[in-house]
Amino acid sequence: MNKIFRKQQLTPYEADYAQWCAEQGALLREGRLSDLDRENLAEEIESLGRSDKREIANRLGTLLLHLLKWQFQAEKRKAGWLLTIREQRHQISKLIDESPSLKTYPRKQLASEFEFARLKAVDETGLPEAGFPVDCPYQIADVLNRDFFPGVPWLPDQLIRD
């Protein structure tokens, strides 16, 4: 990449995002702070944190949905549900390891994500809405605990293979 950029030659943020990112990175490395697109660059950096929060919330919602199905449809437990539960816990843990400041974020999102996961569980299971708790019956420590599985105990050979 040409390391000499003139301000008028820089790619506008709206025109080509990938090229804009490459140019902004090069300008930072060269110490050409006055040539940076500071407003858009600041917005992008702030959005990185929001992206991790969205990912944690999405994964938490998926995890809660599968915990509900696991608990309330014990006779239909599938290997895929187990894998999804484990995957979501693992990925949430990785995100928190990479950004320790987000450690309390799953707890803050638990009620909100449970509310939607409950509705999705009703739709996916066909069970009556009244059969599911209105408030999250799980503590966040349990939700994220790799050994926690709600409902009746299970053995791996009891799972329906997908």
Looking at the structure of the chain, the number of domains it has is 2
Please give the residue range of the domain that contains residue 62.
49-158
Residues 6+ apart with CB under 8 A from 103: 96
Is residue 127 located within the same domain as residue 54? yes
- 69 with 96, same domain: the answer is yes
Is 6 part of a structural domain of the chain?
yes
Asked whether residue 42 is assigned to any structural domain, the reply reads no
CA distance 72 to 137: 12
Tens of pLDDT along the chain (162 residues)?
Answer: 555 555 558 999 999 999 999 999 999 999 999 999 999 999 999 898 799 999 999 999 999 999 999 999 999 999 999 999 999 999 999 999 999 999 999 999 999 999 999 999 999 999 999 999 999 999 999 999 999 999 988 877 778 886
Q: Which amino acid is at 103?
A: K
User: What pTM did the predictor assign?
Assistant: 0.82
89 and 32 in one domain?
A: no
